[in-house]
Structures are given as structure tokens and as C-alpha cells.
Amino acid sequence: MLSDVDVSRKLSSEDYKSEIESLGLSLCEMQRTCREENIPVAIIFEGWSAAGKGSRIKSLMRYLDPRGFEVFTTQKATRDDKLRPYMWRYWRLLPSNGRIHIFDRSWYQPLMNGFRKKEAALAEPVYDIKSFEKTLVDSGMVLIKIFLHVSKDEQEKRLNSLAANPDTAWRVRKLDTKQNRKYKKTQLRFEHMLYATNHDAAHWTIVEANSSRFADVKVYRTVLSAMERAVHTKRHKSTDDVKSDFDVSATSNIATAPEYDNPKHLIASNSRLAAVDLMNKALERSEYGNRLKSAQNELSRIHNEMYQQRQPAVIVFEGWDASGKGGAIKRTVAPLDPRGYKVAPFGAPNDIEKAHHYLWRFWNEVPKAGHLTIFDRSWYGRVMVERVEGFCTVADWKRAFSEINDFEKQLVDSGILVVKFWLHITPDEQLKRFEQRTNTPAKKWKITDEDWRNRDKWNQYLEAVDEMLLRTSTEHAPWTIVEAVDKLYARVKVIETVKERLESALKDK
């Protein structure tokens, strides 16, 4: 691959000046267009040491509006970075809609330095990176991957020049000179990386970088072409989606419209939840008190051990409105040291969150080693609320199943325990709790018009929940269905399950 690239390609000064100005003006215009179309752009620069990444980025910035882009340099992972999954810091740096983020080195650094697992901090580096990139591109992000290639002689010349200058000598690392000494071996590793991570969603562009003028022009052309394709695709896709969504939603409304304004006993016979025994799962108050106290005492001890062993955990609470998530969470965290956990409640995304990939806000709450994050509602909104209410396209929520499974697998592979609860009640029980909240001044704030609207779509939500449980209950992150008609039983089941799962994780550590 790299051995076949002609790095000696050049441009005359005259050709360069005429081309770069024209390309620069077009790029400036395309930046405005992407901003208007809410298209996020991520450009990553990888390549040989001293290949000119900084110079190419500086050249690219000449024509861009500085209010619309930001440059990030990937340095050695900080202590905070190391306490979280590898991709955490990159998810946090992703551009919002309409912005351009440029990465001087990126998530490819572990692969650039070798495929050793302990360096990559990923269970399956190639798969995880490709999955990450596909997730971004499928959501509408433009991902441009540029690899700057220089010859051995050119690299050596540049490194020597940098080392000879007191102002730039600090930039030459041992790794850089080692690269040059072992150029052929390093080139094979780079070729392996390029070949393994070149895919339809985000292919590599190799830039012949011995000549800075030639490299500049090729970089400009590559970036401009990718942005133009994205604009063209989005404009045509928007037209197609209007027709497609109209047809699908029309059919869906006819097929799944609720039969009653106040549904009763609407659990379909083919529902996975239909087999759940909700009526015979209850506790007497005395048994509840004893089991709850015992489980909380054990959980307090385990939480301290979590911190000592640096075992992180994520607990996800999903369930019907008024199914008792808040009460279960309250009893779970009651015995815990508040410095070691966080409850992250999620509702509808705000404007900033809407401008990012839907998983972005959840990555921001991923716990560091030794800590616990409890998600009161979560990324599963994509395949429930957003699906049923039409806040995303059919293609979006169907694709989300694999994206969610990959997300949770990365958490688990990084050492995080993932525990997921679905709190299940009957429509009759929900109605009873809604009415109780409405008639109790201290609880009236808990009931909203949206809760009643969602209740009218019980069957549609039931279908979505069934498919969610089926497609996202994995070996590494299984669902636990909690029979929650009796609140006492539900709370004990939740806290005992958390205790058992954490205990098991610590034993396996």
C-alpha cells in the first residue's frame, strides 16, 4: 500500500497559488453550507512523525471561519482518561452539528504504535474503532481520515532540522527517531493499520507529503470533496425521508393505534412481557424491612470494596411511567458513600445535546474506575420514546440496536459492570398510580400531560419494549425484568440484584 505511493509528486509555485486560492474560497463556502445544513465534520490527521500534520492543519485553517472550528492535539492519556473507557475522551470532543473539529493525531495512536492490547486499551481495537466510526458516519457526521506519507530520507532530513534548532528540538522524541531507524518495519505496521481500518463508512486518504505544496492541495481537495458529498447526500436524503417516513408512519398508525383512550389489560399475547408474573410477586412489610436492611448493609460494604479495587459500574433504570424507578434508586443509593456514586437523570435532550450524536450525552456520564453511575432513563430512549413518538427515523432506531450493543460492550470490555433493569407494571396499576399522584398535592408534580399521552400509546410502547429486551439483552449486559406492581418486592429485587452482580464482578476481578 504505502510502498506503492509516489511521494515525490510536486506542484510548481504558480500552480499551487492558483489552485489553493480557488480551493480555499470553495472550502470557506462549503463550511458555511455545512453549518446551515447542520452537518458536523471531523477531520483526523495521522502519519509519520515530521510528516507535516501541524503545517497541513495550519494551512487548512487559513480559509476557515475560526468561529466554526476547533483543533485538538492528542497528547498522552491523562490520569482521568485512563480511569475511563478508551473512547471516552474522543466522544467528549466530537463536533456538534454544523461545526468542524480537527484532530492532530486521534484514536489511532495505539494502533500507530502497535497492536498490543494493553497499549490500545480496547478489547478488539480494529473492530471497536470501525464500529465507533460507523456510528458517527451513520448519524450524518463527515469523517475524513488523512494519512501523511513521507519517504525515509525526507523524514530523516526533517527530524534533523528540527533537532538542530533549539526552538524546535523539544518536538523530536525518541519514538520519532526510532521510527526512522526502523522505517521498513514501521511502514509495515502502518500498512496493516490502514488496511484493517479502511472501510466504506470512513476510508483513508493517503497524502504524498514530501512536497508541502502538493500535500496542501490534496488535503484541500479531499476535505472539500467529502463535505460536498455530505451536503448532496443530506439534501437528497431529506427529500427521500419525507416520503419514506410518511408512508411508514401512515401504515404504523393504522396497525398499532391504541384501542382505548384508557388502556386496560392490553399486554399482547405474543409479548415477551406477557409471561411475567406480576400478581404473585409481593412482600409483607416485615419481610421487606429485614431483606432491605440486610441487602443495604452488604451493598455498603461492597461499595467500599469497589472503590478499593477500582471496579466501576453502571446501573440503568428503565420502565413504565410510575413503575417506581425513583423509589428503587433512592433505596439503592441510601447506604452508599455519596462521593462514590452519581445519579444521572435523563429526560428529553436539550439543544446542545440534540446537536450531538444521541450517545454523546451518555458517554459524558460514564463513571471512572471505582465509581458508580446510576442512569435514571438512558440511551434506550432511542428505541422507545424516539421510536414511538417519531423523533427519529425508522432507519435511526433500527440501527440503534447494534450501536447500543457495541456501546455497552465497550463499557464492559473496559472493566465496567453494566446492570440493566426494566420495571414492569400493568396498565391498571399505572392508572391507579397516576390517579393517586393527581390527587396527592405532594406528588402532583410527578404527573404530566406527557405521561397521559404515553399511556394512550401503551401497545406501541409495549411492542418497542419487547423488541428492545429481545435485541439488547446480551451476555455481557443482560436485562433484569423487575415485577413492580408491589413496590416493596421491586425495591428488594433491585437492590439484591445489584448486590449480587457487584459481588460477582469483584470476585472475578
pLDDT digits (tens, 9 = 90+) for 304-359: 999 999 999 999 999 999 999 999 999 999 999 999 999 999 999 999 999 999 99
H helix intervals, 37-69 = 53-61
Average pLDDT score over the chain: 91
Q: What is the pLDDT of residues 55-64, one digit of tens each?
A: 999 999 999 9
Three cell numbers written together for 398:
433500527
Measure the CA–CA gap between 448 and 446, rounded to whole angstroms.
7
Q: What is the predicted pLDDT for the residue at 265?
A: 36
| Average pLDDT over every residue of 13-38 | 96
- Is 60 exceeded by the pLDDT of residue 239? no
Of 503, 500, 494, the C-alpha closest to 281 is 494
- Is 50 exceeded by the pLDDT of residue 191? yes
Q: What is the predicted pLDDT for the residue at 266?
A: 39
* Partners of 314 in the β-ladder: 373, 418
Q: What is the pLDDT of residues 442-488, one digit of tens each?
A: 888 888 888 898 899 999 999 999 999 999 999 999 999 999 999 99
Of 59, 38, 15, 54, the C-alpha closest to 222 is 59
H helix intervals, 3-116 = 13-36, 53-61, 79-82, 88-92, 109-112
Query: What predicted TM-score, i.e. pTM, was given to this entire model?
Result: 0.89
As a whole-number percent, the residues of the chain with pLDDT over 90 amount to 82
User: Strand, coil or helix: what is 454?
Assistant: helix
Measure the CA–CA gap between 374 and 414, rounded to whole angstroms.
18
Contacts of 361 (CB under 8 A, 6+ apart): 346, 349, 353
Measure the CA–CA gap between 287 and 292, rounded to whole angstroms.
8
| Average pLDDT over every residue of 116-120 | 48
Measure the CA–CA gap between 346 and 342, rounded to whole angstroms.
13
